[in-house]
């Protein structure tokens, strides 16, 4: 770097991004080195120095999949937090390298489904200009660290988990020992007693809370997962001190790397190892590793945590003023706005502020898709109303974290004009769906058309409000990327003698009352499945008591009546 550029870099005002770690020149150099590495790997593949078998894991660890019709590039959104400049870079990629849209995923990432191999390096360069990358969004390594979409904003939060998510991100990036694991490895971290990160269905789920002297402690869940073998994770530690966080994670990963199965990819996740050894034996092996290791080397000193935290920008909240009064008045005057506020907002810790969930589930739409124009609008709204920050949710929506209550009506109007004002968060049409057979080479069935049919069937907002909270998740195959097991009403695409068909599961939950949905009965064709869902809902509306959710009624009355309403001859 020349003296001149050095001076300019140092003279630049240190404006730190709100809600996420701010890169400096060293981090940017690392991204450039990573892109050069990938450019070189592509060239070696073309020259024949790398076989396709050798190239595949290397491209996957740069987020590049080969799907049914094209390459897909999955971009990392660490702990689900994006800056407005980053969102505009995503819009640019959608326009220049894809068909004008992107798809938000259940791991808070965004993927582009129509990327050409020869454009990949250029796309990675666009990302790097905005301090973004696609590192470890696929492959048998530690994947993107997911977190609470209301982090740093939620009233019920005990501790903002994003600083520790960033520490885990850095620690896991190109980890020398854990980049060729038996299988993929997913972390989620929350700082709220209300589990919004599905901690118990991750390879490692962490729940942070303040401990003695205000230092964070962590509850550690391990061995949860969905996929072919849905399992609720076991609690390994309830009181892990912050200074041992990395050491303990190393210990878990080491036991997994050494003992995890490698003979069968369907038995290779850590959940299978934990089940095979039993929780007690697994814990014993982790503890054995933990006490043997050079703990000083991995100790997370308060000064180190503080240094990383110091790279995070914090929102400068304005005084409450009459914001709450203005909001109350706006709600009184505008019934449609009031309905949207009821469903699409979340209580904020700062007086006068509120968090907004922007639904990416319009009636009849494709869950999680956003066009380049919508992305640009979201970036503008983030700049104007939420400190330039945006979050992606694992339910495939987007959150404006810190909106002034007296500006909420304006935000809603702007969203509505762009088709982003649907008041359906957590309702029956707030559907989660994987890309399915429209894109994915693994799928047995298309997830998107059935999601669109269900969304159209229940489009009436009055009806949706009557039904209340009901989570529908759809997976196009047993790999369960749509998290169907964790849904109140899950739908799984299967291949039934060469025809696409769908199984219904009932009773799942991904929250602190985690449970795995149970299969209701034989798979049905797409339209039959949509009709069956209608009958299940009708039954629920008849049988519910005292404002029960669908899930509560199902748990109370049991499977039999629900099964009868779908399968018994009329």
Partner 1 sequence: MPLLENCHPVEDTWRYAVEGETLGAGDVIVPLDRLSEGLGRSDGRLGVVLPNSETVSVLKEALPKLALVVVTFPIFRDGRAFSQARALREHLHFTGKIRASGHILPDQYEFLIRCGVDSVEVSGNADMATWEQALRRFTIATQPSPVLDEKPTGFGLRRFLATP
**262 binds partner 1 per the rule CB under 8 A:** yes
Closer CB to partner 1, 181 or 434, in the complex? 181
Instruction: List C-alpha distances in Å: 253 to 186, 187, 223, 372.
Output: 11, 12, 11, 39
Query: Site mask, partner 1, residues 288-307, x = CB under 8 A?
Result: ----xxx--xx-----x--x
Query: In 3-state terms, what secondary structure has residue 91?
Result: helix
Closer CB to partner 1, 169 or 283, in the complex? 169
Q: Residue 181 Cβ, how far from partner 1 at the closest point, in Å?
A: 6
Retrieve residue 242's tokens: 């912050």
Q: Of the candidates 227, 174, 172, which has an alpha carbon nearest to the alpha carbon of residue 58?
A: 174
Q: Of the candidates 163, 188, 131, 168, which has an alpha carbon nearest to the alpha carbon of residue 20?
A: 163
Q: Of the candidates 547, 414, 434, 539, which has an alpha carbon nearest to the alpha carbon of residue 480?
A: 434
Retrieve residue 64's tokens: 């590049």
Q: Which window, 186-194, 250-258, 327-335, 505-513, contacts partner 1 (CB under 8 A)?
A: 250-258
Q: Binding residue for partner 1 (CB under 8 A) from 41, 137, 386, 475?
A: 41
Closer CB to partner 1, 40 or 281, in the complex? 40
The whole-angstrom separation of Cα 158 and Cα 228 is 34
Query: How many residues comprise the chain?
Result: 570
Q: Of the candidates 98, 31, 45, 96, which has an alpha carbon nearest to the alpha carbon of residue 71?
A: 98
Q: Residue 296 Cβ, how far from partner 1 at the closest point, in Å?
A: 10
Total residues binding partner 1 (CB under 8 A): 44
How do 369-371 and 353-358 pair as beta strands?
unpaired
Q: Which of residues 112-171 bind partner 1 (CB under 8 A)?
A: 140, 167, 170-171
Query: In 3-state terms, what secondary structure has residue 146?
Result: strand
**176 binds partner 1 per the rule CB under 8 A:** yes
Q: Residue 317 Cβ, how far from partner 1 at the closest point, in Å?
A: 27
Q: Are 138 and 69 in contact (CB under 8 A)?
A: no
Q: Which window, 27-35, 318-326, 335-343, 359-367, contacts partner 1 (CB under 8 A)?
A: 27-35
Q: Binding residue for partner 1 (CB under 8 A) from 6, 7, 49, 456?
A: 49
Closer CB to partner 1, 294 or 462, in the complex? 294
Instruction: List C-alpha distances in Å: 493 to 154, 442, 484.
Output: 35, 11, 10
Q: Which of residues 411-450 bind partner 1 (CB under 8 A)?
A: none
Closer CB to partner 1, 141 or 154, in the complex? 141
Closer CB to partner 1, 170 or 410, in the complex? 170
Give 505's strand partners: 490, 519
Q: Which window, 37-45, 83-91, 381-389, 461-469, contacts partner 1 (CB under 8 A)?
A: 37-45
Q: Which window, 172-180, 400-408, 423-431, 541-549, contacts partner 1 (CB under 8 A)?
A: 172-180
Count Cβ atoms below 10 Å from residue 441 Cβ, excluding itself: 11
The whole-angstrom separation of Cα 256 and Cα 273 is 7
Please state at what angle helix 302-309 crosses helix 162-172, rounded to 10 degrees: 100
**257 binds partner 1 per the rule CB under 8 A:** yes
Retrieve residue 44's tokens: 């070696």
Q: Binding residue for partner 1 (CB under 8 A) from 39, 85, 311, 535?
A: 311
How do 146-147 and 187-190 pair as beta strands?
parallel
Q: Binding residue for partner 1 (CB under 8 A) from 18, 50, 75, 270?
A: 50
Distant-in-sequence, close-in-space partners of 13: CB < 8 Å, separation ≥ 6? none
The whole-angstrom separation of Cα 490 and Cα 94 is 30
Q: Which window, 257-265, 441-449, 473-481, 548-556, contacts partner 1 (CB under 8 A)?
A: 257-265
Q: Which window, 51-59, 223-231, 323-331, 549-557, contacts partner 1 (CB under 8 A)?
A: 51-59
Closer CB to partner 1, 261 or 453, in the complex? 261
Q: What are phi and psi of 272, to 5 degrees?
A: -70, -40
* DSSP labels, 444-459: SS-SHHHHHHHHHHT-
Query: Site mask, partner 1, residues 64-103, x = CB under 8 A?
Result: ----------------------------------------
Q: Residue 261 Cβ, how far from partner 1 at the closest point, in Å?
A: 11
**265 binds partner 1 per the rule CB under 8 A:** no
Retrieve residue 375's tokens: 């992305």
Q: What residue ranges bind partner 1 (CB under 8 A)?
A: 26, 29-30, 33-34, 36-37, 40-41, 44, 49-50, 54, 57-58, 140, 167, 170-181, 246, 250, 254, 257-258, 262, 292-294, 297-298, 304, 307-308, 311
């Amino acid at each position: 770097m020349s003296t001149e550029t050095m001076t300019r870099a140092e003279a630049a005002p240190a404006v730190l991004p709100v809600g996420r770690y701010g890169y400096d020149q060293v981090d940017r150099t690392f991204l450039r080195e990573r892109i050069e590495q990938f450019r070189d790997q592509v060239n070696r593949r073309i020259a024949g120095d790398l076989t396709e078998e050798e190239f595949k894991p290397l491209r996957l660890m740069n987020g590049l999949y080969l799907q049914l019709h094209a390459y897909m590039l999955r971009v990392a959104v660490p702990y689900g937090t994006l800056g407005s400049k980053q969102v505009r870079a995503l819009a640019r990629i959608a326009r220049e390298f894809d068909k004008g849209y992107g798809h938000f995923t259940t791991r808070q990432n965004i993927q582009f489904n129509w990327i050409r191999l020869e454009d990949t390096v250029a796309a990675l360069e666009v990302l790097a200009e905005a301090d973004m990358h696609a590192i470890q969004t696929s492959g048998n390594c530690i994947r993107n660290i997911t977190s609470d979409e209301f982090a740093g904003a939620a009233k019920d939060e005990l501790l903002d988990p994003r600083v520790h998510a960033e520490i885990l991100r850095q620690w896991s990036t190109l980890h020398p020992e854990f980049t060729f694991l038996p299988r993929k490895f997913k972390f989620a971290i929350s700082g709220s007693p209300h589990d919004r990160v599905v901690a118990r269905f991750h390879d490692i789920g962490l729940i942070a809370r303040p401990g003695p002297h205000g230092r964070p402690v962590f509850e550690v869940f391990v061995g949860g997962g969905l996929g072919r073998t849905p399992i609720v994770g076991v609690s390994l530690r309830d009181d892990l001190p912050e200074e041992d966080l990395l050491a303990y994670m190393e210990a878990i990963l080491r036991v997994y790397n050494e003992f995890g199965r490698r003979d069968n990819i369907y038995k290779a996740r850590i959940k299978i190892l934990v089940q095979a050894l039993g929780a007690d034996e697994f814990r014993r092996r982790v503890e054995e590793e933990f006490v043997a290791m050079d703990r000083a080397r991995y100790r997370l000193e308060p000064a180190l945590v503080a240094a990383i935290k110091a790279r995070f920008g914090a929102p400068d909240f304005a005084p409450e003023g009459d914001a709450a009064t203005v909001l109350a008045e706006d709600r009184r005057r505008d019934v449609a706005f009031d309905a949207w506020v009821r469903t699409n907002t979340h209580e904020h810790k700062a007086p006068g502020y509120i968090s907004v969930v922007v639904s990416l589930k319009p009636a009849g739409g494709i869950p999680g898709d956003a066009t380049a124009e919508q992305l640009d609008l979201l970036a503008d709204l983030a700049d104007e109303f939420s400190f330039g920050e945006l979050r992606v949710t694992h339910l495939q929506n987007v959150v404006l974290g810190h909106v002034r209550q007296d500006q909420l009506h304006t935000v809603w109007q702007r969203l509505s004009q762009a088709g982003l004002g649907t008041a359906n968060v957590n309702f029956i049409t707030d559907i989660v769906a994987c890309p399915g057979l429209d894109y994915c080479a693994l799928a047995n069935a298309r997830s998107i058309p059935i999601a669109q049919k269900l969304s159209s069937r229940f489009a009436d907002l009055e009806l949706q409000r009557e039904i209340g909270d009901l989570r529908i998740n759809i997976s196009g195959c047993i790999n369960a990327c749509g998290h169907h097991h964790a849904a109140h009403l899950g739908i799984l695409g299967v291949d039934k003698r060469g025809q696409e068909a769908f199984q219904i599961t009932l009773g799942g939950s991904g929250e602190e009352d985690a449970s795995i949905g149970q299969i209701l009965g034989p798979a049905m064709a797409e339209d039959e499945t949509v009709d069956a869902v209608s009958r299940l809902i009708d039954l629920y509306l008849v049988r519910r008591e005292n404002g029960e959710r669908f899930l509560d009624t199902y748990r109370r009355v049991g499977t039999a009546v629900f099964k009868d309403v779908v399968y018994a001859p009329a």
